[in-house]
Amino acid sequence: MIGGLFIYNHKGEVLISRVYRDDIGRNAVDAFRVNVIHARQQVRSPVTNIARTSFFHIKRSNIWLAAVTKQNVNAAMVFEFLYKMCDVMSAYFGKISEENIKNNFVLIYELLDEILDFGYPQNSETGALKTFITQQGIKGQHQTKEEQSQITSQVTGQIGWRREGIKYRRNELFLDVLESVNLLMSPQGQVLSAHVSGRVVMKSYLSGMPECKFGMNDKIVIDKQGKGGTTDDPVKSELGGSGKQSIAIDDCTFHQCVRLSKFDSERSISFIPPDGEYELMRYRTTKDIILPFRVIPLVREVGRTKLEVKVVIKSNFKPSLLAQKIEVRIPTPLNTSGVQVICMKGKAKYKASENAIVWKIKRMAGMKESQISAEIELLPTNDKKKWARPPISMNFEVPFAPSGLKVRYLKVFESKLNYSDHDVIKWVRYIGRSGIYETRC
């Protein structure tokens, strides 16, 4: 198991050091600094073995977090734990920065004592932790016996992510379907790979211990119901018959509140939600993806000292919708000496420090196209190596889900309190963003 946990600043000074196992000595702290943080080379692996000791590290801005062990630990678990620790720390004091860590070191030690025992990760849900590890000093001594046992039963209980007795005057929930669409396209316009990775993020402000059921236009579910002969399919009414009726989900993963065995057997998503914001599910689709933009590049080398670049972008969605924050990044060679750009829409600039022409358009409706052309002058070099021609990348945001996912329902049941599904105010929003959206040129 995890033998020790260290946090360093960018210079390699230790900010936090907690050792859990006897086989990890103080010299391990220095070994990591010398061999990884101060290493001349770029980091070649997130796992390093130094003198029969293994170091797992992740970086958040310029802070290094390292877990150390001498055993054959579950490596995936160690990384998951490090990420989780970052989440917990952010939930307590915001950004993970040197200053915040130094100011909160007592709290961090307290957390580390609680969420890692002898190197074994323990309950690390912030919802539960915040009930008894508080920044304003402990209330421990003032708690009643009932309160104490409530805390412990929550920390160890089956619903460790939610405490009892939550009350809201207005029961409200917000559902965000956030998708990032990824594309790799050949210069000829052939899709080399494309997938959507999506997340359903939920903000719930519900009283009591509500039981929720979430439904979407999952092909497997719809097909099953279709066979059953349901005529008034809610999907049709909601979508007004437009778009795809159902989507094929390649794979999905759920927050630990979702009953996985139920999903496995009935493919229904039921759960008792944590309070506040959390990620209900992640999913991935590869079939029938709506690619919001198409990039058509044309690069011509004119002699050895000049390049002509022309890039056309086409928007491919309903004309009534608007894409926002569009940015096209056209890489330029390292020996670029000057660039002249002409674009029909938006603003374009050559950024020498980034070796790219950055073309920004604030808004663009569907089924439109726009174009940029540039002349790039090059300094003659005797470097034999050809320019690697990195791909043209794009950023954008669109108000729909490129995978075609639609939320069909989110039902809330709370039998003990007197509010019903109809009393809950629900909000649904779809945002499609570019992930790695690249076209080779």
Partner 1 sequence: LKVINCCVWDPSGEIFELKAELNSDKKEKKKEAVKKVIASMTVGKDVSALFPDVVNCMQTDNLELKKLVYLYLMNYAKSQPDMAIMAVNTFVKDCEDPNPLIRALAVRTMGCIRVDKITEYLCEPLRKCLKDEDPYVRKTAAVCVAKLHDINAQLVEDQGFLDTLKDLISDSNPMVVANAVAALSEIAESHPNSNLLDLNPQTINKLLTALNECTEWGQIFILDCLANYMPRDDRESQSICERVTPRLSHANSAVVLSAVKVLMKFMEMLPKDLDYYGTLLKKLAPPLVTLLSAEPELQYVALRNINLIVQKRPEILKHEMKVFFVKYNDPIYVKLEKLDIMIRLASQANIAQVLAELKEYATEVDVDFVRKAVRAIGRCAIKVEQSAERCVSTLLDLIQTKVNYVVQEAIVVIKDIFRKYPNKYESVIATLCENLDSLDEPEARAAMIWIVGEYAERIDNADELLESFLEGFHDESTQVQLQLLTAIVKLFLKKPTETQELVQQVLSLATQDSDNPDLRDRGYIYWRLLSTDPVAAKEVVLAEKPLISEETDLIEPTLLEELICHIGTLASVYHKPPSAFVEGSRVHLRIPHTRVSTRPHPHSPLKCCPAPHSALGPAIVQVSTRKVPVILLGSRLWTLSITSAMPASLGGAPAVGGGLGDLFDLGGGVGMPTGSYVAPKTAWLLAMKAKGLEISGTFARRGGIIQMDLSLTNKAMSVMTDFAIQFNRNSFGLAPAGPMQVLTPLSPNQTIDVSLPLSMSGPVMKMEPLNNLQVAVKNNIDVFYFSCQYPLSLLFVEDGKMDRQVFLATWKDIPNDNEAQFQIKDIHLNSDVASNKLQGSNIFTIAKRTVEGQDMLYQSVKLTNGIWVLAEMRIQTGNPNYTLSIKCRAPEVCQFVYQCYELVLKN
Of residues 232 through 291, those in contact with partner 1 by CB under 8 A are 250-256, 259-261, 263-264, 279, 281-282, 284
Q: Is residue 79 involved in binding partner 1 (CB under 8 A)?
A: yes
- Going through 104-210 in order, the beta strands assigned E by DSSP cover 116-117, 120-121, 172-185, 191-205
Smaller CB distance to partner 1: residue 208 or 391?
A: 391
Residue type, 399: P
CA distances to 137, 330, 374, 392, 431 from 361, in Å? 50, 14, 16, 16, 18
Pick the binder of partner 1 from 99, 117, 266, 423 (CB under 8 A).
Answer: 117
How far is residue 118's CA from residue 121's CA, in Å, rounded to a whole number? 8
Question: Is residue 431 near partner 1 by the rule CB under 8 A?
Answer: no
Give the binding-site size for partner 1 (rule: CB under 8 A): 104
- Would you give the DSSP letter of residue 439? E
DSSP-derived secondary structure letter, 386: P
Nearest to 369 by CA among 402, 323, 401, 309: 323
Q: Name which of residues 92 to 111 contact partner 1 (CB under 8 A).
A: 105-106, 109-110
The answer to whether 301 contacts partner 1 (rule: CB under 8 A) is no
Q: What is the CB neighbour count within 10 angstroms for residue 75? A: 14
**Quick check: 171 and 423 in contact, CB under 8 A?**
yes
Among 121, 215, 333, 366, binds partner 1 (CB under 8 A): 121
- Using CB under 8 A as the binding rule, the residues of this chain from 42 to 71 that contact partner 1 are 42-47, 49, 52, 54, 56-58, 69-71
Q: Which of 338, 389, 413, 417 binds partner 1 (CB under 8 A)?
A: 389
Site for partner 1 (CB under 8 A): which residue of 8, 32, 64, 81? 81
Nearer to partner 1, 152 or 230 (CB): 152
Decide if residue 160 touches partner 1 (CB under 8 A). yes
> Do 2 and 20 form a contact (C-beta atoms < 8 A)?
yes
Per CB under 8 A, the list member of 35, 90, 97, 153 interacting with partner 1 is 153
Element of type H or E holding 92 = helix 75-93
* Candidate list 11, 38, 99, 186; residue touching partner 1; CB under 8 A: 186
Minimum distance from CB of 197 to partner 1 (Å)?
A: 5
Please report, to the nearest 10 degrees, the dihedral formed by the alpha carbons of residues 118, 120, 125, 130 taken in order.
0
Asked if 346 interacts with partner 1 (CB under 8 A), we say no
Instruction: Say which residue the tokens 């050895």 belong to.
Output: 304
In the shown chain, the binding pattern of residues 9 to 38 toward partner 1, with x for contact by CB under 8 A and - for none, equals: ----xxxxx-xxxx--xxx-xx--------
50, 73, 291, 321: which one binds partner 1 (CB under 8 A): 73
Among 97, 197, 305, 324, binds partner 1 (CB under 8 A): 197
Asked whether the beta carbons of 161 and 125 are under 8 A apart, the reply is yes
Q: Which is nearer to partner 1, 143 or 335 (CB)?
A: 143
Q: Is 124 an interacting residue with respect to partner 1 (CB under 8 A)?
A: yes
Radius of gyration from C-alpha coordinates of the chain? 26
Shorter beta-carbon distance to partner 1: residue 140 or 319: 140
Q: Pick the closer one to partner 1 by CB: 343 or 378.
A: 378
Name which of 123 and 316 has its Cβ closer to partner 1: 123
**Which residues, at least 6 apart from 414, have a Cβ–Cβ distance to it below 8 Å?**
206, 207, 208, 209, 210, 211
